Structure 1
Amino acid sequence: MNKQQYDDLLAKKSKKLTALLAPFDAPALSVFASPIQHFRMRAEFRVWHEQDDLYHIMFDQKTKRRYRVDQLPIASALINRMMLSLLPLLKEQDILRHRLFQIDYLTTLSEQIIVSLLYHKNLDDDWVAAAKQLKVRLENKGFSVQIIGRAAKQKICLDRDYVDEILPINGKNYVYRQVENSFTQPNAMVNCQMLQWAVDCTQNSQGDLLELYCGNGNFSVALAQNFRKVLATEIAKPSVNAAQFNIVANNIDNLQIIRMSAEEFTQAMNGVREFKRLKGIDLKAYQCNTIFVDPPRAGLDADTVQLVQHYDRILYISCNPHTLCSNLQTLCQTHRIERAALFDQFPYTEHVEAGVLLVRK
């Protein structure tokens, strides 16, 4: 697909999102485009075995038709190089290829990669020895690679299960630990644009920031510079651990992570439940005038929407504009949209990432 075709598709997305936000008197969208190829930093492939051959495949979601995939232009250049290098080495060792049914790749702009090999068999010491040899051979080809083996109730890491990404944001490099099989933003370059937009939206903010669904601290680490203090919540333990690393790695001294879901935090704030995880944390010490939310596709639940309305400024990133608009029906009773943006995280699909900054009326 050429640049003009991509631009036409992006224009259609922009028109659609503009129409969805129109009932809420949203201002003109800021539209952030993606690179047209090599933008996706992670990919998953099933493995097809055919006599002595094996190769990556993908299925058409509608027709279920199987397609052989030797190269994937939307995937990072590093994934494509690894695809070409990995399969010949797997074919040479029966213990590595036998009952292998899926390969997952996670890459970074900093040229690190995790290769996860998924099996329908138990992984034993012989597999570990072969996988170690595979890792050495890939490193000799110039890859900075981590190898992980997965099977039922098994996860074997030869070294570690994470990579450290480096994202340039407004002229500064930020380090982000990304853990295998945990959520990370799939489009690194668009993620940088999202972070820059969020930082710009919160320039000259007063008071503190509360963030729900913080993941590995993707936004909170970058936003901390604009606030006196930041309090962030996340329920997934691997993401919390990664966020704690990222706080230290980026020399952030005003950010605290709590391992709680947004729903649990809402219950704590409303006095519905007490949580041992909040012991020693004085929520009253935070003067949060701004709240940041980046919820899953289902959007914010009704109780959390009511909690969010208590804040003067709401920064909302959404991977589902329809549930965003459902939440806006309530939020726009008390707030107005000051800025709106479209981030093309998923080119060549109908999916869009939307951002809105709301301020109290």
Structure 2
Amino acid sequence: MNKLENSHNLIKTFYPDPVKTNISPASGFRSRCEFGYRNGSYTMVSNGQKLYISKLDLAHPAISELMPKLSIKINDSYLLHKKLFQVNFRANNFNKIIVSLIYHKEVNVELLTESSRIAKDLNIEIVLRSKKKLLSTSNEILEELINSNNPFYLYQTDQTFFQPNRYMVPRMVNLVESFIKGPKDLLELYCGCGTFSIPLSRIFNKVFATENNRKSMMCLDMAISKNNISNIKYSRLSCDEVSEAMTGRLFNRLKGEKLVDYNFSHLLLDPPRSGLTDDVISLVNRFENVIYISCNPETYAKDVSKLTDYKISKIEFFDQFVNTNHLEIVSVLQKSK
């Protein structure tokens, strides 16, 4: 049974109709890649086997082209390759790249100087990381233009989550926008860098977004400024704290913002693979319309089974990673009348 059949079987109790699947191109789609580094080569695991590679066709072309050039530079420098165990890449639509070199040794100024020379030669930015320490040849911020129906800018660092498939992100945004009916105000949990917060601010009267990652909050703030948006407010609140804030409790992190003053018509959820906690399930039940984006069909089905007062009104699959078991879901749940 393939992943599409399996995913449909998981949700057919809640949505028996056929589900449209959006297919990604088979190569050049990954704008974020992570590799091990051993014996002078990049490593990855496929079907339980460790592979030694020099480039990756699945990666953004700029990343794939850079990989062998960077490997030569690393291997030519004892300082750079000693105790290097991981290399991460992030690229944007302007072909700008941030490379993260992660070490089993403390990064220092000497290593930064050597990295700066390599970064200049290859026209990239390099972030050096070791336990509790980070150095960078730049401000480690990557600007991205999302070419959806209404293009917008986002920002990311090597410490933030960012949707890795550069072809699918605009399509997912377009679909979510098309799903919105009767918008008033939006509450968003797990907002990340603002992938949905920014475009949906053009549809909703007000948006209140929450996220626990400080770097993501910084990137969201930059995106709000770059896109000239004035109707997004955000805070680092747990789900319990959001529930309390909705009943009137004030937190210093809200900076005077009162959630009781919002007229929320929709809740947007884009949780990690583990799905929704019981606290979030309780919070969901306060809303009539829930936009649920999931990267794990199994936890999605488990969560929907707990939301007994809701039905799936709209849903599509996104095959972001072809020839793997991963599948993304974009859906709307509506409370039964």
Q: Which residue of 2 aligns with 1:128?
A: 112
Residue 276 of structure 1 and its aligned partner are, at CA, apart by 2.1
Q: Which residue of 1 aligns with 2:192?
A: 215
Gaps of 5+ in 1: 1-8, 140-144
Q: Which runs of 4+ in 1 moved over 6 A?
A: none
Question: Could you list the per-position Cα deviations for residues 93-126 of structure 1 after superposition, in whole angstroms to 9, with x for gaps in the alignment?
Answer: 2222222222111111221111111222233332
Question: Could you list the per-position Cα deviations for residues 215-240 of structure 1 after superposition, in whole angstroms to 9, with x for gaps in the alignment?
Answer: 11111111111111111111111001
Question: Could you list the per-position Cα deviations for residues 27-81 of structure 1 after superposition, in whole angstroms to 9, with x for gaps in the alignment?
Answer: 43121111111111111222222xxxx221223463xx43210121111111111
Q: Which residue of 2 aligns with 1:67?
A: 51
| Equivalent residues of 1:213, 1:262 under 8 A apart | no
- Residue 344, structure 1, aligned to residue 319, structure 2: yes
Q: Which residue of 1 aligns with 2:332?
A: 357
Q: Which residue of 2 aligns with 1:158?
A: 137
Q: Which residue of 2 aligns with 1:248?
A: 225
Q: Which residue of 1 aligns with 2:126?
A: 147
- Residue 88, structure 1, aligned to residue 72, structure 2: yes
| Equivalent residues of 1:232, 1:257 under 8 A apart | yes
SS of the residue corresponding to residue 303 of structure 1 reads: helix
Q: Which residue of 1 aligns with 2:151?
A: 173
Question: Could you list the per-position Cα deviations for residues 225-276 of structure 1 after superposition, in whole angstroms to 9, with x for gaps in the alignment?
Answer: 11111111111110011011111111222111111133431343357x7532
Change (3 A) 1:281 1:186: same
Change (3 A) 1:27 1:288: farther
Change (3 A) 1:263 1:30: farther
One of 41, 51, 74 as aligned partner of 1:55: 41
One of 17, 21, 28 as aligned partner of 1:38: 28
One of 85, 102, 106 as aligned partner of 1:118: 102
Q: Which has the higher helix share?
A: 1
SS of the residue corresponding to residue 226 of structure 1 reads: coil
Question: Could you list the per-position Cα deviations for residues 292-341 of structure 1 after superposition, in whole angstroms to 9, with x for gaps in the alignment?
Answer: 1111122112232122122111110111112211221232x322211111
Change (3 A) 1:85 1:357: same
One of 306, 321, 340 as aligned partner of 2:282: 306
Change (3 A) 1:159 1:27: same
- In 1: Cα distance, 2:175 partner to 2:110 partner: 49
SS of the residue corresponding to residue 127 of structure 2 reads: strand
Change (3 A) 1:253 1:101: same
| Equivalent residues of 2:245, 2:260 under 8 A apart | no
- Residue 266, structure 1, aligned to residue 220, structure 2: no
Change (3 A) 1:279 1:256: closer
One of 7, 23, 28 as aligned partner of 2:18: 28
- Residue 103, structure 1, aligned to residue 82, structure 2: no
| TM-score between both structures, scaled by the size of structure 1 | 0.88
Q: Which residue of 2 aligns with 1:15?
A: 5
Which residue type is aligned with residue 318 of structure 1? S
| TM-score between both structures, scaled by the size of structure 2 | 0.94
| Equivalent residues of 2:250, 2:258 under 8 A apart | no
- In 2: Cα distance, 1:264 partner to 1:61 partner: 42
Structural RMSD (CA): 1.9
- In 2: Cα distance, 1:66 partner to 1:182 partner: 26
Residue 26 of structure 1 and its aligned partner are, at CA, apart by 4.8
- Residue 227, structure 1, aligned to residue 235, structure 2: no
- In 2: Cα distance, 1:210 partner to 1:77 partner: 36
Question: Could you list the per-position Cα deviations for residues 119-165 of structure 1 after superposition, in whole angstroms to 9, with x for gaps in the alignment?
Answer: 222333322221111111112xxxxx211111222210111112111
- In 1: Cα distance, 2:16 partner to 2:279 partner: 24
SS of the residue corresponding to residue 218 of structure 1 reads: coil
| Equivalent residues of 1:41, 1:106 under 8 A apart | yes
Q: Which residue of 1 aligns with 2:170?
A: 192
- In 1: Cα distance, 2:145 partner to 2:156 partner: 10
- In 2: Cα distance, 1:61 partner to 1:262 partner: 37
Q: Which residue of 2 aligns with 1:335?
A: 310
- In 1: Cα distance, 2:13 partner to 2:90 partner: 39
- In 2: Cα distance, 1:181 partner to 1:294 partner: 18
Which residue type is aligned with residue 162 of structure 2? T
- In 2: Cα distance, 1:352 partner to 1:48 partner: 30
Question: Could you list the per-position Cα deviations for residues 271-298 of structure 1 after superposition, in whole angstroms to 9, with x for gaps in the alignment?
Answer: 7x75321240121221001111111122
Which residue type is aligned with residue 160 of structure 1? N
